[in-house]
Amino acid sequence: MTVVDELGTSFSYERDDLKVKQSFTLCHELGHFILKHEGNYFAELIDNQENLLEREANIFSAVVLMPDIVLLSKIYYSCKTLHQVQNSLEVSKQALFFRLLDFLREYYLGKDSEIKQAVETYIEGKNSSIFRLFHDIREQIIEEFHQFQPSLINQVKQRVRKVGFTTSLEYPDLLNQDNWKAIKEESINLKTWLIYNKGKSIAYVWDKERFSDEEAKKKAELQLLLM
Report the pLDDT value the prediction gives residue 45, as an integer from 0 to 100. Answer: 46
Considering only CA atoms, which of 174, 155, 165 is closest in space to residue 209?
A: 165
Q: What is the pLDDT of residue 64?
A: 85
pLDDT digits 0-9 by tens, 65-110: 899 999 999 999 999 999 999 999 988 898 899 999 999 999 999 9
SS3 of 18-32: CHHHHHHHHHHHHHH
Asked if pLDDT for residue 8 goes beyond 50, the answer is: yes
Whether this model's pTM surpasses 0.75: no
Rounded to an integer, the average pLDDT of 35-41 is 56
Which sign does the torsion angle of CA 150, 156, 158, 163 carry?
A: positive
When pLDDT is averaged across residues 186-202 and rounded to a whole number, the result is 91
Output the pLDDT for position 63: 83
| Residue 22: pLDDT band with limits 50, 70, 90 | low
Which of residues 114 and 12 earns the better pLDDT score? 114
pLDDT of residue 136: 96
Q: Which of 48, 21, 22, 23 is nearest to 37 (CA)?
A: 48
Per-residue pLDDT averaged across 197-219, rounded? 94
* 42 band by pLDDT with thresholds 50, 70 and 90: very low
* Neighbouring-strand partners of residue 11: 2
Residue 36 has pLDDT above 80, yes or no: no
Please check the confidence at residue 152 and state whether its pLDDT lies above 70.
yes
Residue in 169, 170, 172, 220 with CA at minimum distance from that of residue 197: 220
Tally of helices (H runs) and strands (E runs) in the chain: 10, 6
Per-residue model confidence (pLDDT) at position 47: 47
Arithmetic mean of pLDDT over the chain: 83
